[in-house]
Amino acid sequence: MNGAQALMRTLVDAGVTVCFTNPGTSEMHFVAALDAEPRMRAVLTLFEGVATGAADGYARMTDRPAATLLHLGCGLGNGLANLHNARRAHVPLLNIVGDHATHHAPLDAPLQSDIETVARAVSGWWRTCRHPQELGQLAAQALAAAQQPPGQVATLILPADVSWGEGAEPAPPPPPLAPMPVEDDRLEQVARALASGEPAALLLGGRALRAAAQLDAARVAAACGARLLAETFPARIERGAGLPPLPRLAYLAELAGTQLRGLRHLVLVGARAPVSFFAYPGKPGSLVPPGCTVHTLAAPQEDAADALQRLAQRLRAPARAPMVWPLRQVPRPRGRLSPASVARAVAHVLPPDAILVDESQTTGVLLPHFTRTAPRHDVLTLTGGAIGQGLPNAVGAAIACPGRPVLALVGDGAAMYTPQALWTMAREGLHVVTVVLNNRAYAILNLELRRTGAVGDGRRARAQFDLAQPPLDFVALAQGMGVPAQRVATAEALQEALARALAAPGPHLIEAVLPSTMRGVRLRLLPYVLGLLPSLPAAVARGVQRAVAP
Pairing mode of beta strands 377-381, 237-239: antiparallel
Q: In sequence order, what are the residues at sequence separation of 6 or more whose Cβ sits closer than 8 angstroms to the Cβ of residue 320?
A: 215, 219
Inter-residue long-range contacts of 459-467, CB under 8 Å, 24+ positions, other chains counted:
462/518, 465/441, 465/518, 466/440, 466/441, 466/518, 467/412, 467/413, 467/440, 467/441, 467/442
From candidates 241, 294, 475, 533, binder to its own copies by CB under 8 A: 475
Q: In sequence order, what are the residues at sequence separation of 6 or more whose Cβ sits closer than 8 angstroms to the Cβ of residue 495?
A: 332, 333, 344, 345, 348, 349
From candidates 140, 315, 386, 410, binder to its own copies by CB under 8 A: 386
The reply on whether position 431 binds its own copies by CB under 8 A is no
Q: Is the dihedral of CA 500, 502, 508, 510 positive or negative?
A: positive
Q: What residues from 34 to 73 belong to the interface with its own copies (CB under 8 A)?
A: 34-36, 38, 42, 44, 46-47, 49, 73
Q: In sequence order, what are the residues at sequence separation of 6 or more whose Cβ sits closer than 8 angstroms to the Cβ of residue 448?
A: 278
To its own copies, the closest distance from the beta carbon of 325 in angstroms equals 27
Q: How many other C-beta atoms lie within 10 A of the C-beta of residue 169?
A: 16
Q: What residues from 260 to 289 belong to the interface with its own copies (CB under 8 A)?
A: 272, 275-279, 281, 285-286
Closer residue to its own copies in complex, CB, 348/440: 440
From candidates 14, 18, 33, 512, binder to its own copies by CB under 8 A: 33
From candidates 20, 126, 325, 474, binder to its own copies by CB under 8 A: 474
Closer residue to its own copies in complex, CB, 114/185: 114
The reply on whether position 121 binds its own copies by CB under 8 A is yes
The reply on whether position 161 binds its own copies by CB under 8 A is yes
The reply on whether position 3 binds its own copies by CB under 8 A is no
Q: What residues from 221 to 250 belong to the interface with its own copies (CB under 8 A)?
A: 233
Round to whole Å and give the CA distance between 277 and 388. Answer: 18
Q: What residues from 320 to 379 belong to the interface with its own copies (CB under 8 A)?
A: none
The reply on whether position 460 binds its own copies by CB under 8 A is yes
Q: Is the dihedral of CA 54, 57, 61, 67 positive or negative?
A: positive
To its own copies, the closest distance from the beta carbon of 101 in angstroms equals 4
Residues forming beta bridges with residue 267, ordered by sequence position: 202, 295
Stretch that binds its own copies, among 102-110, 170-178, 241-249, 358-366 (CB under 8 A): 102-110
Find the DSSP H helices in 205-350. Answer: 211-224, 253-260, 304-314, 339-349
From candidates 1, 13, 17, 74, binder to its own copies by CB under 8 A: 74
From candidates 152, 155, 361, 383, binder to its own copies by CB under 8 A: 383
To its own copies, the closest distance from the beta carbon of 276 in angstroms equals 7
The reply on whether position 167 binds its own copies by CB under 8 A is no
Round to whole Å and give the CA distance between 426 and 517. Answer: 31
Round to whole Å and give the CA distance between 117 and 58. Answer: 26
Closer residue to its own copies in complex, CB, 2/309: 2
